[in-house]
Structure 1
């Protein structure tokens, strides 16, 4: 049996309470990794009107300057705590709808009605922002550590050699349950009977690889019956070789690579990428950004819609399971002891890796605070 970690640690630490931003588990371990890029929105969601979004238990307001550059600030006016998202954008600044204080994209106050000189130091928190591949990313930790080279690679979202679409699903669970569900290749036979289920999903061995930068869970299935998804949408009828590779990188990014090839006609092949960004909203809710991209029949809009619908229906099946799971974990008697075996290697490795990163980040934050 593998020891307690991951969701169980969170469940024990948070059961019966909703911690404020920056809250920690017993022993000082932070609930969320912060010095990482998180997807905050689709590019099309953010415009000149303010958009409020809760991220990692923090209210954030997003908008665009006149030149289209996205901005993000803490969604609390430092005057008396009103949400800046209830205000309006004037020029490049956001103006509080309560008393008219204005703030630019770096958080500095630019105007206080009735006062000629803005008080020195009056500002609100700003978040480094980057826009890539149809998504807007926010750095939720120390702005001085933000490095755009560390933005996770989701280039398939707007690569001209791929086609597809995606959406955001609200999921009423801790984000780790979404992550662990995606790293678990064996549940498909039981949860997704109409889309992904084949006997080989249970019988084929799973390999786990970890190099310190990413975690991969891989399953190669040779000469198997194609799943209902690939039969119906991709025209596979005879035996296929089917490879699944799930790659996880912190804080909450998963790319699923799927390759299916006919054993009788090797030219009949398809490759998909399922892009998954699981951004915590609170400790019990997640913004699940996902997109399904393919490398064939790029101009077939009907196929794009059909694959999107089939994949979304699959995710709805997952959501029903993990939201019920969250309720059970929250009410589990002490201690909630998970039982694990070989199919859980990827899940366990991800949990232990993130727990280690949380400890290291907490220690780094503690050293910085001690240094003043």
Structure 2
């Protein structure tokens, strides 16, 4: 399929902890990129190809503020300019590779793969809870063999949970209620649903240590922040406190049919408990396994074009609006006229256009 991702957008290239002075090769939006840290700790991103014979620079080595090709030893500075060719005295005029704008906002290293001049007019989404001591966070990352919009639309439709994750939803909850509210801005989509009181699922009881004999109310929320990020929240209310879980998914297309996910899973309780972290890590890993399997089966069978051509339900309201935001972004990049998504807030009962 043709690429359907906007390039004028900040995407996560790597996490802060995985990037050191050793070069890291990664394919992002169809571009082969090499990342490394210079002597002063600054993250650097270049095209992952030597200007001489196209050998991957990620197979070379760093040398202070420079990157040395592992084939002929051509040496590049952080700006992509070749500064040394070992076999001759002078570097050929104009010998360089493309350097990409990089912003590091721990825990993420963001890259701009669109026109360089446009990078300064935009900033990546802010995620203050990831550096807030009142939250505890663990991380994971994986690659899904599916188009990135399939991931976004999957996360924005949690109505599958009682089927796909039946053992993990509250007991007796064989369907999720509709959205209480869907809010759309020019660039974001958010929804919220309130769940009826129900007993604890096993993972909830193990993680929170709440009384399993009681029933609790919950809120489930999702936000399409940008083509590069989705945030999902699951909150349990015991009447006095709210036990909040936030999964921050940085979503970066590898190609038109494969996607990197960099997840940060946060909670606002038992911040120092390794036992709780282990419970939630195990729970999240199993969710990821099932979600990825479903998406990859659908991608292999019908691809994104087949995925998006199906009959739509009321539960698809948020996903369809995110799809439209991306369509507007792509149209702008292509220089076509667009219809703006507009500013909208609806209740689920207002979504009459869906089957």
**TM-score, reference length from structure 1:** 0.84
> What is the rounded CA distance, in whole Å, between the counterparts of 2:13 and 2:185 in structure 1?
28
Question: Alpha-carbon deviation of 1:115?
Answer: 3.2
Question: Alpha-carbon deviation of 1:210?
Answer: 0.1
Partner of 1:345: 317
1:136 and 2:112 matched:
no
CA gap 1:336/1:351 in 2 versus in 1, 3 angstroms: closer
1:171 and 2:147 matched:
no
Q: Paired residue for 2:57, among 61, 84, 90?
A: 84
1:314 and 2:287 matched:
yes
1:274 and 2:247 matched:
yes
Question: Alpha-carbon deviation of 1:62?
Answer: 0.6
1:232 and 2:206 matched:
yes
- Matched residue SS, 2:286: helix
Partner of 2:340: none
Question: Alpha-carbon deviation of 1:117?
Answer: 3.1
Partner of 2:182: 208
1:362 and 2:338 matched:
no
Listed as ranges, the matches of 1:174-323 within 5 Å are: 174-196=147-169, 200=173, 202-206=175-179, 207-236=181-210, 237=212, 238-262=214-238, 266-323=239-296
Partner of 2:127: 154
- Matched residue SS, 1:48: coil
> What is the rounded CA distance, in whole Å, between the counterparts of 2:305 and 2:154 in structure 1?
19
- Matched residue SS, 2:125: coil
- Matched residue SS, 1:202: coil
Does the 8 Å CA contact 2:176/2:195 hold for their aligned counterparts? no
Deviation track 1:205-236 (CA, whole Å, cap 9, x = no partner) reads 21321021310021112423333332332134
Question: Alpha-carbon deviation of 1:200?
Answer: 4.6
Does the 8 Å CA contact 1:195/1:314 hold for their aligned counterparts? no
Deviation track 1:180-223 (CA, whole Å, cap 9, x = no partner) reads 11111201110011223555572412132102131002111242
> What is the rounded CA distance, in whole Å, between the counterparts of 1:298 and 1:43 in structure 2?
21
- Matched residue SS, 1:229: helix
CA gap 1:298/1:42 in 2 versus in 1, 3 angstroms: same
> What is the rounded CA distance, in whole Å, between the counterparts of 1:302 and 1:148 in structure 2?
44
Question: Alpha-carbon deviation of 1:268?
Answer: 4.1
Q: What runs of 5+ residues in structure 2 fail to find an aligned partner? A: 337-355
1:328 and 2:304 matched:
no
1:95 and 2:68 matched:
yes
Does the 8 Å CA contact 2:147/2:304 hold for their aligned counterparts? no
Question: Alpha-carbon deviation of 1:101?
Answer: 1.2
> What is the rounded CA distance, in whole Å, between the counterparts of 1:320 and 1:44 in structure 2?
27
Q: What runs of 5+ residues in structure 1 fail to find an aligned partner? A: 1-13, 15-24, 365-372
Q: Paired residue for 1:117, among 81, 85, 90?
A: 90
Does the 8 Å CA contact 1:186/1:201 hold for their aligned counterparts? no
> What is the rounded CA distance, in whole Å, between the counterparts of 1:197 and 1:169 in structure 2?
27
> What is the rounded CA distance, in whole Å, between the counterparts of 1:331 and 1:302 in structure 2?
39
Q: Paired residue for 2:15, among 28, 42, 67?
A: 42
Does the 8 Å CA contact 2:194/2:220 hold for their aligned counterparts? yes
The alignment's C-alpha RMSD in Å is 2.1
* Corresponding residue pairs, total: 333
> What is the rounded CA distance, in whole Å, between the counterparts of 1:251 and 1:361 in structure 2?
14
